[in-house]
A and B are shown apart, each in its own frame.
Chain A
């Protein structure tokens, strides 16, 4: 039965039923009673009621996660199925932004679907190539450079993987929004060709919505490129990692690596990284510390990995 109050989306491969409308998520055509996540607006529990880790503006255990973004809102995630939003501001753009960029991660951990931080593009054979690294290592800037070369975006804020029968790996992109530095967009001249909007007042970041055509179909994963910065070498370097090296490198690419231990996800993490490192080509693309990603680096990755 059609219910006018709810909106239906897909993110990280999960079906979402939401009380609030998201322009940033991939909208599902049909409404269904079958969904994985329920997003509602209401009062969240008290922070002190969470038995587990108590941090300055968050608290969590294996099944519950509480977060406050001061002056924006409070969020509560339970059992990998439910998100409650208690807004503080009336600016719903901010409330949604912090939900999709921060609150999906604990939800995925609760579901044992450990996300990797990654941006990604579709190569000319219709396969996904992911760029993975910790925060602030240049994944999105690299994505923008490939967009400038004509490639299509696949994901920006990360992805999850489903491993079927220890063989087939199903890739789940996050949502069709690129969160990027304003200067990166303008330096690359993409402001002339892409539609963008300012994410928040007084923040130097833009949001670029893209078509999520690839969100409804499963596509092959060609490779994972792990971005590294080095203080030792002044040259660019790309090398294919053996499974053991790939396992170690991928370990650093979770959004909150410390949650692996604290939320008891070591077994799930081992299974995920073992499968990825054995079945997927994983490369290390290294550049000098704090140097801007340049055309040479982009061309090297394209030449050595994409084809």
Chain B
């Protein structure tokens, strides 16, 4: 009998996933919050986790060989645990060569999908990768774009386009998917976080939730990064935590860039009321 205890924290990069993982880590642990010791939401693509469960060096496997095994790894971890398991995932919800979801659906309780206005995502993601905004706009429109690689500490993560990423997670899985808009998380943090905890049937007092929110405010996360560094930062980027604001696109993007993003992603943006 499969256990259904995995909760996916899914998102396109730079959409509030790390913030929410930080919040959960602060909420679930009494010790002082440390951004380099996030107990919750270890990433699905971690190669050391995969290698430890499979007992092999996965860098010698092709991507086609590895993807079906990645699903088995998380089935195994799920069946070994009687607790909720939160995993961060940037992969789009895709199928392997055997037409099976790479995410083990039978072991999944639900997913929280974080979405952010792509007009802001391109600015933050460009900073994260130390690339230009125009290059990043191309990434968001490229269905072959991926993170990680066959030999790195994270295995390859196919993202599809920004729109396809959203649709893959919200249209295809056979489990509940709760969508959190980054803009709502910023504007009504307490209400949004409390609401999602209730949906997950996690019982915490208002004081506990507020304390975890304060411990993981953008200013505190950014301060910790400045003082101690952040191991999830892209080495080519000066900072992981950029501005944390929404709406910066109004000052940073040209009209041509805005039009291009709307042309590429207008349908999904409209469904999310970004335009």
B134 adjacent to chain A (CB < 8 Å): no
- Interface positions, chain A 224-246, Cβ under 8 Å from B, are 230-234
Mark A64-105 against chain B: 1 for CB-CB distance below 8 A, else 0: 000101110000000000000000000000000110011000
CB neighbors of A among B141-172 (8 A): 149-153
Minimal beta-carbon separation of B28 from chain A (angstroms)? 22
Q: Which of A56, A135, A232 contacts B57 (CB 8 A)?
A: A135
A111-152 residues with Cβ-Cβ distance < 8 A to B are 134-136
Question: Are B72 and A136 in contact, CB atoms less than 8 angstroms apart?
Answer: no
| Cβ contacts under 8 Å, B65 to chain A | 70-71
Chain B minimum-CB-distance residue to A256: B55
**How far apart sit A77 and B57, CA to CA, in the bound complex (Å)?**
17
Question: What A residues does B149 contact at CB under 8 A?
Answer: 204
B110-118, B228-236, B250-258: which one contacts chain A? B228-236
B27-63 contacts to A, CB under 8 A, are 36, 47-48, 51-57, 59-63
In the assembled complex, the Cα of A205 lies from the Cα of B149 at a distance in Å of 13
Q: Which one of B59, B75, B230, B235 contacts A56 once the chains associate, using CB atoms below 8 Å? A: B75
B residues 87-135 near A (Cβ < 8 Å) are: none
For the complex formed, measure the closest distance between the CB of A22 and the CB atoms of chain B, giving whole angstroms: 16
Is the pair A67, B55 in contact by a Cβ cutoff of 8 Å? yes
* A57 contacts B by Cβ under 8 Å: yes
* Chain A facing B: main interface SS: loop
Chain A residues within 8 Å of chain B by Cβ, number: 36
B62 touches A203 (CB 8 A): yes
Q: Are B230 and A57 in contact (CB under 8 A)?
A: no
A69 touches B56 (CB 8 A): yes
Q: Is there contact, CB below 8 Å, between A102 and B73?
A: no
- Is A163 part of the contact surface with B, judged by Cβ < 8 Å? no
With A134-B48, A231-B36: A203-B60 Cβ-Cβ less than 8 Å: yes
Q: Report the Cα distance A244→B239, complex, angstroms.
A: 35
Quick one: given A71-B65, A136-B153, A290-B235, are A102 and B53 in contact (CB under 8 Å)?
no
| B178 located at the interface, meaning its Cβ lies under 8 Å from any Cβ of chain A in the complex | no
Q: Shortest Cβ distance from A286 into chain B, in angstroms?
A: 13
Given contacts A71-B65, A136-B47, contact A57 B60 (CB under 8 A): no
Q: Using Cβ atoms and an 8 Å threshold, which residues of chain A touch B36?
A: 231
Query: Are A56 and B76 neighbours in the complex by a CB distance under 8 Å?
Result: yes
**B151 and A232 form a contact (CB under 8 A):** no
Whether, in the assembled complex, B261 has its beta carbon less than 8 Å from a beta carbon of chain A, the answer is no
Q: How far is the CA of A85 from the CA of B54 in the complex (A)?
A: 18
Q: Is the CB of A289 within 8 A of B56?
A: no
Report the Cα distance A143→B73, complex, angstroms.
32
Are the CB atoms of A199 and B60 closer together than 8 Å? yes
Contact among A56, A97, A258, A288 for B73, CB-based, below 8 A: A56
- Tell me which of A200, A202, A256 contacts B52 (CB under 8 A): A256
B229 close to A202 (CB less than 8 A): no
- The 8 Å CB contact of B69, one of A67, A70, A234, A289, is A70
Residues on the A chain within 8 Å of B68, using CB: 70
A229 CB to nearest B CB, Å: 8
Chain A residues within an 8 Å CB radius of B76: 55-56
- Across the interface, A288 reaches (CB within 8 A) one of B54, B63, B228, B235, namely B235
- Contact string against B for A residues 175-192, beta-carbon threshold 8 Å, 1 for contact and 0 otherwise: 000000100000000000
- Residues A291 and B72 in contact, CB atoms below 8 Å apart: no
Set of chain B residues within 8 Å of A67, measured between Cβ atoms: 55-56
A residues adjacent to B (C-beta < 8 A): 55-58, 60, 67, 69-71, 97-98, 101-102, 106, 134-136, 181, 199-205, 230-234, 256, 258, 288-291
Given contacts A70-B68, A258-B52, 7 further A-B contacts (CB under 8 A): A56-B53, A56-B73, A67-B55, A97-B60, A98-B56, A205-B60, A290-B153
A-B contact pairs, 22 of them (CB 8 A): A55-B53, A56-B53, A56-B72, A56-B75, A58-B55, A70-B68, A71-B65, A101-B57, A102-B56, A135-B59, A136-B59, A200-B60, A202-B63, A203-B60, A204-B151, A205-B60, A230-B229, A231-B230, A232-B228, A233-B229, A234-B229, A258-B52
